[in-house]
Amino acid sequence: MRLSIAATALAVMTALAGVEGFAPMSSSSPRAFGVTTTKHMSSPTAAASSSAKAPSEPASSEGGGDTNLGGHFLAARDQLVQNIVAAVETPSMAHMLEHFTTEYFTAMQHSYEAGNTEYTPQESAARFSKALELGMKYGMGPDRYTFGVKHTALRGRDPDLEDGNTYDYYKFGCDFFRGAMDVDNSVVLGADNLKKAFAQVEAGENVVFFANHQSEADPQVFSCLLEKAGYGEEGAEVAYVAGHKVTTDTLAIPFSMGRNLLCIHSKKHIDADPEMKGVKQKQNMLAMSAMLGMMRKGGASLWVAPSGGRDRRNVDTGEIPIANFDQKVIDMFRLMGNKSKVPTHYYPLAMVSYDLCPPPDFVEAGVGEDRNVRFCPVGIACGDELENVGGVETRHKFTELAQEKTDEGYHAILAQLAENAAGAVEESSSEADEGDGATQGMKTGTVKW
């Protein structure tokens, strides 16, 4: 590093503060910042966000190629990229950060255009600069943060128990991604099941959510939509079974520091380095032991993706099917539930978040992939508590049931989002006929599930 990342962040904010018209934080009109109105509409999920108006002339910036950015969002992005190039010595890292910067500011601009006026260029720059500062401080170098097999979220509430920490990393992560979520038009299905599940946790019993996994921001998606459903405090207590990437990737580490985690190596990556296979297997055993301890204590809520990784787009059809659940993973959680001697309940949890942070189409060993961010609605669907089907010889039936119910919820979310998008287009068309160009919020959909 030629400059400290803290100095870089300060330089960015100082430069941005000098841009004419950039300082105001309370404007209620996107035009106050000279933004364009182009939108990413590449999928039903993205299309369900507020309708695009007639686009302005597209802007481009040197080094960044054509973008949908305009006005002060473009100025913020360009200033940040200049400081990144000055601070980062590794070209590949600089390229990755430049790409992420463009993606994030484009998403924030679209969010601002949709009426989320709190996400100004200045606020977006401050938030992104903080993410870079934390990533460079704790994701690399002498202060790199090391996770144990069981990690408790750093909330800054009790510095004595957090090694002097006074910063809320959970809030940081939620705030960073919330602006990219069209929360008002996002979907929460199965509210009664969420109510039942968290009542069981409150009663000292355990709950395990078997979820499909679509983006790096899934923990933040779950938290923000639980807030929307009225379970913000409960959402903050959920523990996530996390693969090695979120605890080793430079940019991911600060977000992971704000989560309760059980840190494992997924089966997809455990064989990547044969010499380390034994160490990884030992860590997985320690993580399972820590999880059993949590479940024996009772009142644990756990999120796990039994597929062991993110859902991937079918490059031939463009569809995004749910990845198959691994029976061994589900069997392990059922075994831990039985061993705990505490009532443990299992729920299918469908998640639609692919368009928020689209992953690469193909799995690659290692870390360091480009980060993509889109402004779009997201969704969760919590199905009925899974019945205890299948005995010792037919354990596969329980896994099949979990997969089936998660898939049902997944398609119910997609149907609701598609219905919302169609309703938004119709409403926008009606308003245009009346001569009113204002964009209104989504109507509540009617999909039954």
Average pLDDT value for the chain:
84
E-assigned strands of 223-281?
239-242, 260-263
What is the structure's pLDDT at 340?
A: 98
Higher pLDDT, 362 or 358: 358
pLDDT at 272 over 80: no
User: For residues 325 and 312, what is the distance between their CA atoms, to the nearest angstrom?
Assistant: 14
pLDDT at 145 over 90: yes
If you average pLDDT over residues 173-182, what whole number do you get? 98
* 376 secondary structure, DSSP code: B
Q: How many helices (H) and strands (E) does the chain have?
A: 14, 10
Site of tokens 């079918």: 314
What is the structure's pLDDT at 422?
A: 86
What is the structure's pLDDT at 6?
A: 53
Higher pLDDT, 191 or 433: 191
- Give the model confidence (pLDDT) of 213-242 as tens digits: 999 999 999 999 999 999 999 999 999 999
What is the structure's pLDDT at 9?
A: 53
| Domains of the chain, CATH where assigned | 5-138 (no CATH), 150-427 (3.40.1130.10)
If you average pLDDT over residues 341-346, what whole number do you get? 98
- For residues 344 and 295, the answer to whether their CB atoms sit within 8 Å is yes
Burial of 54 (0-12, 13-18, 19+ CB in 10 A): exposed
- Helix then strand then coil, in percent of the chain rounded to 5, is 45, 10, 45
- For residues 102 and 67, the answer to whether their CB atoms sit within 8 Å is yes
- For residues 181 and 221, the answer to whether their CB atoms sit within 8 Å is yes
- For residues 202 and 299, the answer to whether their CB atoms sit within 8 Å is yes
If you average pLDDT over residues 250-279, what whole number do you get? 89
H/E stretch holding 182 reads none
User: For residues 348 and 333, what is the distance between their CA atoms, to the nearest angstrom?
Assistant: 13
Higher pLDDT, 71 or 19: 71
What is the structure's pLDDT at 21?
A: 40
Q: Measure the N-to-C terminal CA separation of the chain; round to a whole number of Å.
A: 52
What is the structure's pLDDT at 331?
A: 95
What is the structure's pLDDT at 335?
A: 95
If you average pLDDT over residues 252-272, what whole number do you get? 90
- Give the model confidence (pLDDT) of 74-102 as tens digits: 999 999 999 988 888 888 888 999 999 99
What is the structure's pLDDT at 156?
A: 97
Ranges 124-128, 310-314, 420-424, 440-444: which has the least confidence: 440-444
Minimal CA–CA distance to 174: which of 112, 99, 124, 236? 236
Q: What would the two tokens of residue 440 be?
A: 């209104």
Burial of 25 (0-12, 13-18, 19+ CB in 10 A): exposed
Higher pLDDT, 9 or 419: 419
Ranges 156-165, 319-328, 340-349, 425-434: which has the least confidence: 425-434
